[in-house]
Amino acid sequence: MTLKAVLLDLNGTLIHDEPIHRQLLLALLAEKGIVLEPGEYATHCLGRSDRACLQGIWQRRGQTLDLPQQEALIAIKNQRYRETLAQLPHLPLYPDAADFLFRLRGEQVRLALVTGAFRAEAQWILEQSHWLPYFSAVVTGDDITHSKPDPEGYCLAIDRLNQAHPDLGLLPWECLAVEDSPAGMQAAQGAGIPVVGVAHTLPFHMVQRRADWAIDRLIDLELPRVKATFADALRD
């Protein structure tokens, strides 16, 4: 078995914006008279798309959030997110993310982004960070029906990588996913993809319980060692 592709999450993995998302969501909900219970954000929102997050919060209260209301709330949050980032002196990218992506590129593996963020948001971040050319495929919340922890996004990323590189013949077990949230790790594993969990959002010991490999920082990933594990699996 050969490692051919690395599939990466965006929010909380490459960019340290989970606190911003949480703050904006809590403020938006407060405007609607909703206060989250302890643990509710982690259950319904962490690692999931805004759409899935809002649906879960409304369902938890036995209410229905119709599509026009949902889209209006998402539009407000996305606008505030962009405005918040634009006011910062620089994007809150993880300090080692750029070097990490550069190293991955040097390992001759294909890269794909798999995020629940909407395309305009993800595209803007990739353009501002100058990372867009790194990725052969980008899957966003606009492209999927089911948010993480559903594996749909990862399955679609594999399809798009194969479309972009017809000679790749990529299969799930020839990929590696990099995720920070339980929902993201579950989504990748549900697609049959081994997972590296980075302890950006959860404590290291909790990441260890959920992922095939656990690292404190992106730069800690020893990709040659991981590739050797793939090669050993092939020999077995």
Taking 70 as the threshold, does the pLDDT of residue 236 lie above it? no
Give the angle 156-159-161 at the CA atoms, nearest 5°.
110
Instruction: Tell me if 191 sits within 8 A of 70, measured CB to CB.
Output: no
CA end-to-end distance (rounded Å), the chain: 9
* Two tokens, residue 42: 């982690």
| The CATH classification of domain 5-16+93-235, taken from the options 3.10.310.30, 1.10.1040.10, 3.40.47.10, 3.40.50.1000 | 3.40.50.1000
Instruction: Tell me if 94 sits within 8 A of 14, measured CB to CB.
Output: yes
Nearest to 17 by CA among 93, 117, 112: 93
Instruction: Tell me if 192 sits within 8 A of 206, measured CB to CB.
Output: no
pLDDT digits (tens, 9 = 90+) for 193-205: 999 999 999 999 9
Lowest mean pLDDT among 34-48, 88-102, 138-152: 34-48
Q: Which residues lie below 8 Å from residue 158, measured CB to CB, with a gap of 6+?
A: 5, 7, 112, 170, 171, 172, 175, 191
pLDDT digits (tens, 9 = 90+) for 91-112: 999 999 999 999 998 888 999 9
Domains in the chain: boundaries:
5-16+93-235, 18-87
Look at residue 233 in the predicted model and tell me its pLDDT: 65
Look at residue 234 in the predicted model and tell me its pLDDT: 54
Taking 70 as the threshold, does the pLDDT of residue 5 lie above it? yes
Q: How far is CA 236 from CA 1, 21, 130, 134, 196, in A?
A: 9, 44, 40, 32, 22
Q: Scanning the structure block, which residue is given the tokens 């077990």?
A: 173
SS3 category, 54 = helix
According to DSSP, the residues that pair with 93 across neighbouring strands are: 15
pTM comes to: 0.90
Taking 80 as the threshold, does the pLDDT of residue 76 lie above it? yes
Q: Average the pLDDT over 229-235 and give the result.
A: 68
pLDDT digits (tens, 9 = 90+) for 116-137: 998 988 999 999 999 999 999 9
* pLDDT higher at 63 or 234: 63
Q: Average the pLDDT over 199-224 and give the result.
A: 94
Q: Please give the CATH number for the structural domain made up of 18-87.
A: 1.10.150
**Across the chain, what does the average pLDDT equal?**
92
Look at residue 108 in the predicted model and tell me its pLDDT: 86
According to DSSP, the residues that pair with 197 across neighbouring strands are: 179, 214
Same fold, 5-16+93-235 and 18-87: no
Look at residue 223 in the predicted model and tell me its pLDDT: 87
